[in-house]
Structure 1
Amino acid sequence: MEAFKGLQKSLTNLGGQITPFASRTIQYTKEQLGQAEDKTQMPPDYIDLEKRVDALKAVHQKMLAVTSQYASESYDYPANLKETFQDLGRTVQEKVSLLSSATSPAEAQAALTAPPSHKPQPKTFPHAIARASLASSQVLHQTHTGAGEDPLATALEKYALAMERIGEARLAQDAQIQSRFLAGWNTTLNTNIMFATRARKAVEKARLTLDAVKARVKGTTWRLPGTGPRDHHDDHHELSPEAQEEIEKAEDEFVTQTEEAAGVMRNVLESPEPLRNLAELVAAQMEFHKKAHEILSELAPIIDGLQVEQEASRASAFSLH
């Protein structure tokens, strides 16, 4: 037992000589082993701020895990679709323009497979539908033998043009979401909340330092497991002026760091940016759906008209028989 007491005394004396980092490490270890006494408690308001910041961080991580898809052009592109280099060569609008001047099936085919004039076309669901619709329209045109144009082929071509416009509107939406929502929420998560995290770490560092100083000057720096609790007869002994000054200095640092961290966390929580960014997300989505509705509203009467004409022509043919 005397040997244990001697070792404890040596470790206590060592506490005044080791680095602040080592002191904090020892204090942290004591707390993990349940040997820390008089651990400084954080103010309830500070703990509440920490919980709220943690909740805000979780919200940003969860939302960004989903909405980051807006940064990927092909997030709605069919996984099983196999389009060729020629399919992606020109826009539907360009192909329709070339097809309008074609005078033979060979020229029409050449128009469909014309080399690209710009970068490959976007791989989005609306663009894919547009390309498929135009190709389908040409299949019908090339096999049509009756008078006039095949109404379904005509409708598919017009649908192709409309879907390409919707695809372009989707890309415009995505660009707005990336710059006005994703950028803002990533900044909040990776900069503002990160600053708060660093400030909280500084508080924890100051607290550990304070408690390590208190433990050292009171002779409770370390206790070997199984050696029993320390004697309490000296708990209220008079501290030396030097020891009192060291504790007060550590307390001042702890209070300063706590106040600074609380201020940083309040700034993060009170920032209007996340809500403003969310409003921008909604605005971009609304603009896209509004544009898509306008395009389809223009298209629907045209296709309805082609359908009515086809049915009228079919009824007239039956009446002649």
Structure 2
Amino acid sequence: MDFTKNIANFGKNISTSFTPFAARTQQFVREQLTQVEDKTQLPPDYLELEKRVDALRLVHQQLLAVTSQFSNESYDYPPNYRESFVDLSRTITEKVQLLSAANTATEAQNILTKPGTKSAPKTFAHAIARASLNSAHALDSSEPLATALEKYALASEQVGEARLQQDAQIQSRFNAAFTTTLNTNIMFAQKARKNVENARLSLDAAKSKAKSGGGIGFPNLGGARQQDPHHEEHLTEEQRVEVETAEDEFVGCTEEAVGVMKNVLDTPEPLRNLADLVQAQLEFHKKAFEIYSELAPLIEGLQVEQEASYRKNREGGA
């Protein structure tokens, strides 16, 4: 076939400038285009380490794909909810403090419409807080529901602030650490493995070159090249040195990669990072539990008082 001749001619043309990179490339092409039976095999233990490192890399990538959202303040903010600039212009705490000092409805209105010293975050809890406070001031301040809504607004803002603290801890203790491991230790392992593959290709290229009499010899696409099983016994000293040097390089790279991969797999850092992630979430939910546990009896008390007043009014009217 003309294609086969062209490949062979190309191999002859670059044989005079044979470099390690060219040798590896030629060997890689040979393995891709033909079924190579004399390919140097890596030890089963080494291949098992590779699988474990790949699994660990996948763990880091999958978790970071999700936990990276903790750097997005509004990850739980309702996507179809719209708030005005006025809504976001002040924190709930600041509004409540200023409103408590207002003497007239006009003063209260000005407080609600003018921007403050700090804009409010766009989280779900903060959005609930703003909606609750706006609802409270749409009612008469003497109504129990207005009082309850204001208390709920303050509590919701506290929960929102606790969530932001959680997010900051996760970013610094988990995301940053996992990203560093992925981009350093695991990447070093990947590079070490690549060095092993390159050394293996160089070794097999040296063996192939020696067996074929010294040329690069691109593969015969019509079938595997026939080799003399006793040919290795008649290698020249130069050929033996080249093969042995490649073998030493392959063994050295393999031993180094084994050490690097074991170090990546043995380090307790990922588990420590996961513990930090859980601790940050625990602290947030514990804080939220404390806030709502304090709020619930207050709301319930207002409810009981209103129901008692309601029954009294009905009985008096009867």
- Normalised by the size of structure 2, how large is the TM-score? 0.92
Partner residue in 1 for 2:211 = 218
- Tell me the equivalent position of 1:126: 125
**Is the alpha carbon distance of 1:106 and 1:216 closer, same or farther for their aligned partners in structure 2, counting shifts above 3 Å?**
same
The counterpart of 1:240, out of the listed 236, 240, 254, is 236
Report the counterpart of residue 43 of structure 1 in structure 2: 43
Amino acid at match of 1:21: F
The equivalent of 2:294 in structure 1 is 298
* Alpha-carbon displacement from aligned partner over 1:65-85 (angstroms, at most 9, x marks no partner): 111111110000011111111
Unaligned runs of 5+ in 2: none
| Residue aligning to 1:99 | 99
C-alpha distance in 2, partners of 1:35/1:82?
63
Corresponding residue of 1:158: 151
Native 8 Å contact 1:12 1:219 kept in 2: no
Amino acid at match of 2:145: L
Compute the RMSD of aligned alpha carbons: 2.1
Q: Which moved more, 1:222-231 or 1:243-252?
A: 222-231
**Aligned pairs (5 A) from 1:37-186:** 37-118=37-118, 120-141=119-140, 149-186=142-179
> How far apart are residue 187 of structure 1 and its match?
1.0
TM alignment of 1:14-25, pairs within 5 A:
15=15, 17-25=17-25
1: CA distance, partners of 2:305 / 2:15: 96
CA shift digits 1:151-199 (9 cap, x unpaired): 0000000000000000000000000000011111111112211111111
How many angstroms apart in 1 are the aligned matches of 2:294 and 2:223?
86
- 1:199 equivalent to 2:195? Answer no
AA aligned to 1:186 is: T
Identity over aligned pairs, percent: 60
1:259 aligns with 2:252: no
User: Structure 1 228/312 Cα, relative in aligned 2: closer, same or farther at 3 Å?
Assistant: closer
Give distance in 1, aligned partners of 2:164 and 2:298: 26
Q: CA deviation at 1:224?
A: 2.6
Whether the 8 Å contact between 1:155 and 1:303 is mirrored in structure 2 is: yes
8 A contact 1:200–1:261 mirrored in 2: yes
Counterpart of 1:272 in structure 2 is: 268
- The residue type equivalent to 1:109 in the other structure is Q
Distance 1:280 1:10 in 2: 58
Say which SS state the counterpart of residue 233 (structure 2) adopts: coil
Q: Normalising by the residue count of structure 1, what TM-score does the alignment of the two structures yield? A: 0.91
